[in-house]
Amino acid sequence: MGTTKFILAGAAVISMLASSAFADDMSGLVTRIDRLSSTISIQETQKGTVGASAGGAGAVQQYKAKDAAMLDSVHAGDRVTYSATDNNGTGTLTKLQKQ
């Protein structure tokens, strides 16, 4: 019984850490916006000097906007800062600001 509690507590900590990984402000380049489905694709910009020789570009991620009005002020090609959460493998954009 003690082992089961330990395993369940460890799983809870891991899931909290995984979902909070999206919570920090990130920056990136808007590559695509679909206003009909309220989704946006953002290429995350790498922070720091690691990978600077590769242009500092990360993978493109697609997010569902928490509020469709968030997408009104940005366009493809804009640099943005944003925050997102992960709900069962689906990224949800919680904050979006044009740089």
Q: Where are the domains of the chain?
A: 2-98
User: Is the pTM higher than 0.95?
Assistant: no
Mean pLDDT to the nearest integer, 26-50: 88
Calpha distance 87→13 (Å, rounded): 16
pLDDT value for 25 = 87
pLDDT value for 74 = 96
Q: What CATH homologous superfamily does 2-98 map to? A: Copper binding periplasmic protein CusF (2.40.50.320)
Q: Predicted confidence band at 1 (pLDDT cuts at 50, 70, 90)? A: low
CB proximity list for 64: less than 8 A, separation 6 or greater: 37, 38, 39, 90, 91, 92, 93
pLDDT in tens, 48-78: 655 555 555 678 999 999 999 999 999 999 9
